[in-house]
Structure 1
Amino acid sequence: MTTLFRLFFAAFCLCIFVIMISGCGRNDDMTVNCSVSGPAISVESTAAPTCSTPGTVTVAVSGGTDPVTFSINGLDFQSSSEFSGLAPGTYTLTVMDANECTATTSVGLAVKNDLTLSFTASVAGCEGSEGSVELSATGGSGTYLYSIDGKNFVESSVFSGLANGEYSVAVKDGFCEFHTKAIVPSGLSFDTAIATIIKNKCAVDGCHVTGSQFPDMTSFKGIQDNAKQIGLRVGNRGMPPMQEGIAQLEEDEINKIVCWVTDGAPNN
């Protein structure tokens, strides 16, 4: 009995040893190398958010072991590879397979601004404040705030009591803004208010005529092409030069030229 027991015990221990060795072998076989057999992720498509609609991102995956799940914040995984309802920003996308191998990528969504703004303006007069601007917006959410200076926004789209000049008008909703320039005209006519001043006091012998070194103001094109410079020089009292024998502009004439240039130097 003793010998038989010893043989039985030895066989039992050998069996246990074999099982342990076999078990270790199976564990080694089941070890997953994620860098070799894990998934890869890429961005398949995006739809940029607009002022009125959120964005979407769809990811693509290759490799890995099914089933795979997806996350846009690293926490809440889902079976769908599409994420919607996204505001502008940068997102980290993660895919995880059945072996808990993961891969990440990132995507940025910039807002596609679909707001537009147009305006109508009434004349202000050269030295008055009778002008107005009415703004009209399209696109976006439809809930608009308006600005006449690009900074302070109000509900009204009509601004009155404006002097002649250029204004930085804007509209905004939600998280979108659209800025443009609006001109409140003086209403001065080149033919009736400006041409005579330039002819008599600017385009004179030796100054601003054909063949001189100065811009030629004997033609409307020559005047219009240099309108900004003319307005600046006249407004700073630098033209005509303060020289004996050169007729100087009256204050009213200076104001008229500056007003007409501010209007955009129209051929009116």
Structure 2
Amino acid sequence: MLSSCGDDPSVDCSMVNVSVGATSTISNCPDATGTVTVTASGGSGNFEYSLDGTNFQTDAVFMNVGGGDYTVVVRDGDGCSANTDVTVEATSDITFTSTSTAAGCGGDTGSITIMASGGDGNYEYSLDDGDFQAANQFNNVSNGLHAVTIRDGNNCETAGEGYVLSGISYAGEVATIISTYCAVSGCHVASEPRPDFAIFANVQTFAAEIKSRTQSRNMPRGSSLTDEQIAAIACWVDDGALDN
């Protein structure tokens, strides 16, 4: 909250304690249905309120406010003022799903395709807060989680996430690591009081723990994995520990 001086030279606004706060409700895009409610105290006389610093009103509640960031200004009867920032969140009926092609473990040759619905149907797409584009496919995308934003012709937006798979195969890569280093005598086999990693369902159930322990090099016991093997396990787990 910042205070500033008024137009009356006889009043020292630096000695006037005008305080302001603001709360908001959600606006439904594309309709401006949000509200901003301002609270003010201190100062002298009746308060006036503004969302743009130029147009003031005597009502402390602003109706029909669109989504966005606003600077609320309040001034008292002597022109002494204070301001604070408030954000009106906007909701949209745009929804989306995404599909991807594999990028490789730690690679950047994947693609992600966005399928949107709702809104006015005229979509633009942004990946990782980059520029918006008309095409719903992004190429040369790295393996991992990405921020997705869809905007329609009414400037309504919906944000979410999409995941680009690494394409690591359990059968082709991870299974050999597990069977060689973990599903061995004295460790994760049927005769031991530990999950039997010869059974895929057990590996899948404990996938997150396997990733964590191999990355911290607490697993496997008595031997160590290469960086490539550790990365392969992590990528497979991050892809959803698929039975592939």
Normalising by structure 2, what TM-score?
0.58
Residue 203 and residue 127 in structure 1: after superposition, are their counterparts in 2 closer, same or farther (change >3 A)? same
CA distance in 1, matches of 2:191, 2:161: 37
- 2: CA distance between counterparts of 1:148 and 1:112? 19
- 1:80-114 CA distance string (max 9 Å, x none): xxxxx94568xxxxxxxxxxxxxxxxxxx985531
Q: Report the aligned-residue RMSD.
A: 3.2
Q: How many pairs align?
A: 172
Change (3 A) 1:214 1:175: farther
5 Å-filtered alignment, 1:156-175, equals: 156=134, 157-173=136-152, 174=154
TM-score by length of 1: 0.53
2:99 alignment partner, SS class: strand
Aligned partner of 2:22 in structure 1 is: none
- Name the residue aligned to 1:106: none
Aligned residue identity for 2:207: A
Offset of residue 266 of structure 1:
0.7
Counterpart residue number, 1:187: 167
Aligned counterpart, 1:203: 183
Counterpart in 1 of 2:97?
118
Within-5 A mapping of 1:1-268: 50-53=28-31, 86-87=64-65, 113-149=92-128, 151-156=129-134, 157-173=136-152, 174=154, 176-210=156-190, 212-241=192-221, 246-268=222-244
Q: For residues 106 and 158 of structure 2, what CA distance do their matches in structure 1 show?
A: 30
Inter-CA distance 53–88: structure 2 relative to 1 (3 Å threshold): closer
1:8-45 Cα distance to aligned partner (Å, 9 max, x none) = xxxxxxxxxxxxxxxxxxxxxxxxxxxxxxxxxxxxxx
Return the alpha-carbon distance in structure 1 between the equivalents of residues 89 and 142 of structure 2.
Answer: 38
Answer yes or no: is the 8 Å Cα contact 2:217–2:224 preserved in 1. no
CA distance in 2, matches of 1:49, 1:138: 20
1:47-72 deviations in Å (ceiling 9; x for gaps):
x964345669xxxxxxxxxxxxxxxx
DSSP 3-state at the match of 1:133: strand
Q: Note closer, same or farther for the CA distance 1:153–1:228 as it changes in structure 2 (3 Å cut).
A: farther
Structure 1 vs Structure 2: percent identity of aligned residues? 35
Structure 1 residues 206 and 128: alpha-carbon distance in aligned structure 2, compared to 1, 3 A threshold: same
Unaligned runs of 5+ in 1: 1-47, 57-72, 76-84, 90-108
Where in structure 1 do 4 or more consecutive aligned residues deviate above 6 Å? none
Q: Deviations over 1:141-170 (max 9, x none)?
A: 344443323x44522433222222222323
Secondary structure of 1:210's counterpart equals coil
Contact 2:101 2:165 in 1 (8 A): yes
Contact 1:172 1:178 in 2 (8 A): yes
Pair 52,141 (structure 1): closer, same or farther in 2 beyond 3 Å: farther
The verdict on how the C-alpha distance between 1:165 and 1:221 changes in structure 2, with shifts beyond 3 A counting, is same
Q: Higher Cα Rg: structure 1 or 2?
A: 1
